[in-house]
Amino acid sequence: MKLDRVEKWCVSTSLRAWMQRRYEAPRMFAGIELPPGAICLEIGCGQGVGVLLINGHFPGCQVIASD
């Protein structure tokens, strides 16, 4: 699927990154525990905010990202 200009703008704004940090990540990571050395796959990583959030929440986890 190819994003149009408006969709690209919406997913690349600082407001989107703030929402990921403030609301999405805490809810998504709640109750999940990964052992050190676990491998996470981030698909559609865009600017990489999700990768940073995964690394921050799961220290020792390897993240593979693809956009």
The pLDDT of residue 15 is above 80: yes
The domain tally of the chain equals: 1
3-class SS of residue 43: strand
Could you list the residue range(s) of the whole structural domain that residue 57 is in? Answer: 5-66
Average pLDDT (21-49) is: 91
Local confidence band at 11 (pLDDT 50, 70, 90 cut-offs): confident
How many CB atoms sit inside 10 A of residue 14's CB? Answer: 9
Q: Render 44-56 in DSSP notation, one character per residue.
A: S-TTSHHHHHHHH
Average pLDDT (16-35) is: 92
The pLDDT of residue 45 is above 80: yes
Local confidence band at 39 (pLDDT 50, 70, 90 cut-offs): very high
For residue 18, give the amino acid letter. W
Report the alpha-carbon angle 36-43-66, nearest 5.
90
The pLDDT of residue 8 is above 90: no
